[in-house]
């Protein structure tokens, strides 16, 4: 399994400093829905403290948590890819403090600084690969439990 990648520590110092010039400090109270699958994705966050559950609506009344993110984790990648809609939902599991980044401003910075853009896209790709493996593992666990009659 790939290891969890922390966006801000993965970027070289100069690129991290440039990105952080765009950061805005935000907070979300516990149980706040940060975004919903299908909504417009125009920003992302790096969690400073607290926890966020990524979820997927599987029926009209049931959501499944596919990942729990914590300090240092990047929340949201859909701002980077058309059609710029969230693939999952996200809810604050506890009080969350985060750095928020406007997607358009970050993309503008990437055009200005192609090395930063390349580093950012590579890091996001690593985050995606790790999350895909985590989701696959969680789904396999649920499938195995169902086959055994555990769900």
Q: How far does CA 135 lie from the centroid of its chain?
A: 13
Q: Is residue 120 over pLDDT 80?
A: yes
Rounded distance, CA 59 to CA 54, Å?
A: 16
Centre a 10 Å sphere on the Cβ of residue 79 and count the other Cβ atoms it contains: 20
Cα separation, 92 vs 34, in Å, equals 7
Query: pTM (2 decimals)?
Result: 0.87
Average pLDDT over residues 83-109: 97
Task: Reply yes or no on whether the pLDDT at 151 is more than 60.
Answer: no
Q: Which is more confident, 136 or 121?
A: 121
List, in order, residues 6 or more apart from 70 with CB less than 8 Å away: 47, 50, 51, 52
For all residues of the chain together, what is the average pLDDT?
90
Cβ(47)–Cβ(23) below 8 Å: no
């Amino acid at each position: 399994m790939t290891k969890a990648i922390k966006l801000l520590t993965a970027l070289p110092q100069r690129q991290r400093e440039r990105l952080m010039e765009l950061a805005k400090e935000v907070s979300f109270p516990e149980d706040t829905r940060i975004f919903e699958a299908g909504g417009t994705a125009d920003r992302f966050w790096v969690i400073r403290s607290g926890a966020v559950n990524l979820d997927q609506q599987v029926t009209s009344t049931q959501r499944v948590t596919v990942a729990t993110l914590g300090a240092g984790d990047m929340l949201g990648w859909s701002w980077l890819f058309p059609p710029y809609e969230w693939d999952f939902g996200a809810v604050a599991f506890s009080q969350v403090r985060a750095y928020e980044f406007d997607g358009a401003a970050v993309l503008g910075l990437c055009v200005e600084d192609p090395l930063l853009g390349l580093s950012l896209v590579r890091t996001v790709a690593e985050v995606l690969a790790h999350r895909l493996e985590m989701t696959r593992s969680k789904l396999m666990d649920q499938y195995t439990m169902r086959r055994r009659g555990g769900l």
